[in-house]
A = this chain, B = another copy of it.
Amino acid sequence: MISIPAIKPNRPIGVFDSGIGGLTVLKELVELLPGEEMIYLGDTARVPYGVRSPEIIVRYSEENVLFLMNFGVKLIVVACNTSSAIALPKLQKKFSFPILGVVEAGARAAVETSRSGRIGVLGTEATVRSGAYSKYILSLNPRARVTSVPCPLFVPLAEEGWVGDKVARLTAEHYLRDLKARTPDTVLLGCTHYPLLKGVIQEVMGKKTRLIDSAVETAQEVKELLDRTGLAREKDSGRLRFYVTDNPEKFRRVGQRFFQRDIPKVSKVSLR
């Protein structure tokens, strides 16, 4: 187990994702915890994780944690559903400071929201194949009926910004047809890119379906943990630093849509 010397409130929070998607999580964290210093790492040289095998996802995730540890972080948020679904238990075993993912918070919110117990989960291929959301939902409500749907085209649609047009609509109809027939009352957006397609997903599923955004739930969970452990930083405004493994310019440009605020400087780093 790899541990860090001491955890103090003034230390930054580390956040990583395979690319820009995690910025939807960072956005919620910044809104809820404006006093915290945060370091964001996007592994854009190896994005996307959602199509890769578990071994590779674990290896890349560990390398991301090791990079963030250089900053003496007090806590790490795995702002990537794929990595949370597949690598989180291994990361938590290997490192001795708190590491939180987006899966548990999202699953908990879905269970609390659903009345019928029929829950849909949308995610990448790797997330769906891992069964992590299903497992966690069923541990909270063994009578839940979970239908998981991989939606690989949603990621490039979100990155192209094609979120409100006919292509997005038809793609959503294609992916959600069978799920809709099962009449879930709650659908979990199990990939950080999907909140950008909230509008079209809601339209296709119908007004009555509640959509759960893991990013919002995760930020809430981080706040609770910091308050409980006395690790919150009570300052006016925390500094944000951005690192990527490739293409800082593209990260800034496309990332604004995900972060919904200005991204100042982005530095390029090599993880090996």
Contact = CB atoms under 8 A, between A and B. Distances in A.
Copies of this protein chain in the complex: 2
A115 B91 CA distance: 60
A246 B125 CA distance: 14
B153 A53 contact: no
A59 to B, nearest CB: 9
A72 interface: no
A167 B156 contact: no
A38 to B, nearest CB: 25
Interface string A70-100: 0000000000000000000000000000000
Nearest to A153: B156
Nearest to A268: B53
Interface stretch (A44-52, A131-139, A205-213, A216-224): A44-52
Contact of A46 (B46, B155, B167): B46
Interface residues of A, number: 26
Contact of A52 (B45, B157, B166, B272): B45
B170 A160 contact: no
A177 interface: no
A203 B51 CA distance: 30
Nearest to A254: B51
Interface string A230-258: 00000000000000001100100000000
A250 B53 CA distance: 9
Interface in A17-50: 44-47
A265 interface: no
A247 B157 contact: no
B160 A156 contact: no
A52 B47 CA distance: 9
B170 A247 contact: no
Contacts of A51: 47, 247, 250
Interface of A: 44-47, 51-53, 56, 152-153, 155-157, 159-160, 162, 165-167, 170-171, 174, 246-247, 250, 272
9 contacts: A44-B52, A53-B247, A56-B247, A152-B159, A152-B160, A153-B153, A153-B157, A153-B167, A166-B170
